[in-house]
Amino acid sequence: MSHRIGRLLPRSAGARAGLALLLVLLGGIAIGGYLYERHRTGNIYHPHARFLPEPAPTPPKRAPAQFTWPFYGYTPEHTRFLPAPETLRPPFRRLWSDNSHTLLEFPPVMAGGRIYQLGDNGVLFAISRHSGKVLWTRHLGRLSASSPAVAGGTVYATVLMRTHGGGGDVVALNRADGRIRWTRDLPSPSESSPLLDHGMLFFGSQDGTVYALNDRTGSVLWTYRAAGAVKASPTLMGGVLYFGDYSGHVQAISEQTGRRLWRSGSGGTLLGSGTFYSTAAAQYGRIFLGNTDGRIYAYDASTGKLDWAVQTGAYVYASPAITNAPGIGPTLYLGSYDGTFYALNARSGAVTWKFDAGGRISGSATIVGRIVYFADLGQHHTYGLDISTGRSRFQAETGSFDPVISDGKNIYLTGVTGLFALGPF
Let me know if residue 56 belongs to a domain: yes
Q: What are phi and psi of 51, to 5 degrees?
A: -145, 130
Answer whether the bond into residue 91 is a cis peptide, omega within 30°.
yes
- Residue 4 has a CB neighbour count (10 Å cut-off) of 8
What range defines the domain where residue 132 resides?
A: 46-424
Q: Judge whether 318 lies within some domain.
A: yes
What is the number of structural domains in the chain? Answer: 1
Separation CA 174–CA 281 (nearest Å): 29
Sheet order of strands, 366-368 included:
81-82, 366-368, 371-376, 381-386, 392-396
Confidence of residue 45 (pLDDT cuts 50, 70, 90): confident
Question: Is residue 349 scored above 70 in pLDDT?
Answer: yes
Beta-carbon contacts of residue 13 (< 8 Å; ≥ 6 apart): none
Query: 220: part of which helix (H) or strand (E)?
Result: strand 220-225
Coil/strand/helix, residue 413? strand
* pLDDT for 189: 97
Residue 295: strand, helix, or coil: strand
In a domain, 15, yes or no: no
Q: Which residue has the higher pLDDT, 185 or 165?
A: 185
CA gap 256, 58 in Å, rounded: 32
Integer Cα distance of 416 and 405 in angstroms = 15
Does 417 score more than 70 pLDDT? yes
Query: What does the pLDDT look like over 397-415, one tens digit per residue?
Result: 998 899 999 999 999 999 9
Considering the entire predicted model, what is its pTM?
0.89
Per-residue pLDDT at 28 exceeds 70: no
pLDDT category at 9 given cuts 50, 70, 90 is: very low
Whether the pLDDT of residue 284 is over 90: the answer is: yes
Query: In degrees to the nearest 10, what's the CA dihedral of 39, 228, 285, 340?
Result: -60
In eight-state DSSP terms, residue 279 is P
- Mean pLDDT of the region 180-201: 97
Quick check: is 26 in a domain? no
Q: Tell me the average pLDDT across 306-324.
A: 95
Closest CA to 254 of 194, 197, 185, 207: 197
Distance CA 274, CA 234 (A): 19
Q: DSSP E strands: which ranges in 61-153? A: 68-69, 81-82, 92-99, 109-111, 114-118, 123-128, 134-139, 141-143, 149-151
**pLDDT tier at 43 (50, 70, 90 boundaries)?**
confident
How would residue 38 be classed by pLDDT, with cut points 50, 70 and 90?
Answer: very low
With respect to residue 6, please indicate whether it lies within any of the assigned structural domains. no
* Residue 418: half-sphere exposure toward Cβ, Cα within 13 Å: 14
CA distance 229 to 274: 13
> Residue 422 above 50 pLDDT?
yes
3-state SS record for 221-262:
EEEEECCCCCCCCCEEECCEEEEECCCCEEEEEECCCCCEEE
Identify the pLDDT of residue 1.
37
**Terminal Cα-to-Cα distance of the chain (whole angstroms):** 96
Q: Is residue 5 part of a domain?
A: no
pLDDT one-digit tens code per residue, 361-392: 999 999 999 999 999 988 899 999 999 999 99
Question: Identity (one letter) of the amino acid at 192?
Answer: S
CATH code for the domain of 111: 2.130.10.10
Residue 280 DSSP one-character state? P
Task: Choose the weakest-confidence range: 18-32, 144-158, 301-315.
Answer: 18-32
Q: Is residue 22 part of a domain?
A: no
Parallel, antiparallel, or unpaired: how do β-strands 81-82 and 366-368 relate? parallel
What's the CA angle centered on 247, arms 244 and 252, to 5 degrees?
A: 35
State pLDDT tens for residues 132-171.
Answer: 999 999 999 999 999 999 999 999 999 999 988 788 999 9
pLDDT of residue 268: 54
Sequence-separated (6 or more) residues with CB below 8 Å from residue 134: 98, 125, 126, 127, 128
Q: Is residue 358 assigned to a domain?
A: yes
Q: Are 172 and 180 in contact (CB under 8 A)?
A: yes
Q: What is the mean pLDDT of the chain?
A: 89
